[in-house]
Amino acid sequence: MNTTSIMIVGVGGQGSLLASRVLGNLLVNEGYDVKVSEVHGMSQRGGSVVTYVRFGDKVASPIIEDGEADFIISFEKLEAARWAKCLKKDGKIIVNTQEIDPMPVITGAAVYPHDILDEITAQGAFVDGLDALSLANEAGSSKAVNIVLMGRLAKYFHIEYDKWIAQIEQLVAPKFVELNKKAFALGFNA
């Protein structure tokens, strides 16, 4: 079945919800069957969070498993590594290279593996890392990391730039539209 699978991963509270809404609505407007799956509740409290977006002619499973993701969009470096097991051999990882220490690292029980993405690249994975936090700040708010990453995804995607922008205009509060359009452009062109 010709289903495309995208994972959006990060740390609870980073704003992956807006990213999945932009993407989901965009794909529905393009006429695809779409499923977007997320888990609410306890994991949102600073834990590892994952959203699955799948689209095609007819999508069955709402979730993405090992070796099935065409794209992994990660809001944080360690989370990209955690979910790399789900990436297809020819899939792409787009990752905000920001590091957020999980509690075991903060307490000293574990060490943050700073070079972990190199290990995945060495195995042949396509990893596109960018400092989305700086770009978001450049656009006007650290909260725009999600839209910077959507801009980056658009670069690899078959849907026209203007359609993404139209979706952002629809979903974002009017006073933040310009900021988010700038964030999207910065991600796209980075």
The first and second tokens of residue 24, run together, are 């989901």
Interaction between residue 11 and another protein (CB under 8 A)? yes
Please pick, from the candidates 30, 46, 57, 189, the single residue that binds another protein as defined by CB under 8 A: 46
- Single out the residue of 121, 183, 175, 177 nearest to residue 153, CA to CA: 183
Q: How many residues does this entry show for the chain?
A: 190
Cβ 20 vs Cβ 35: under 8 Å: no
Kindly tell me which of 93 and 147 has the beta carbon lying closer to another protein: 93
Q: Is 33 left (phi over 0), alpha (psi -120 to 50) or beta?
A: beta
Kindly tell me which of 65 and 160 has the beta carbon lying closer to another protein: 65
117-125, 152-160, 161-169, 178-186 -> range binding another protein (CB under 8 A)? 117-125
Kindly tell me which of 38 and 188 has the beta carbon lying closer to another protein: 38
Site for another protein in 123-162 (CB under 8 A): 123-125, 142
Interaction between residue 56 and another protein (CB under 8 A)? no
Kindly tell me which of 12 and 165 has the beta carbon lying closer to another protein: 12
Residue 6 CB, shortest distance to another protein, in Å, is 13
Interaction between residue 106 and another protein (CB under 8 A)? yes
Interaction between residue 173 and another protein (CB under 8 A)? no
Residues that bind another protein (CB under 8 A): 1, 11-12, 24-25, 28, 33-48, 59-63, 65-69, 78-79, 81-82, 84-89, 91, 101-113, 116, 119-120, 123-125, 142
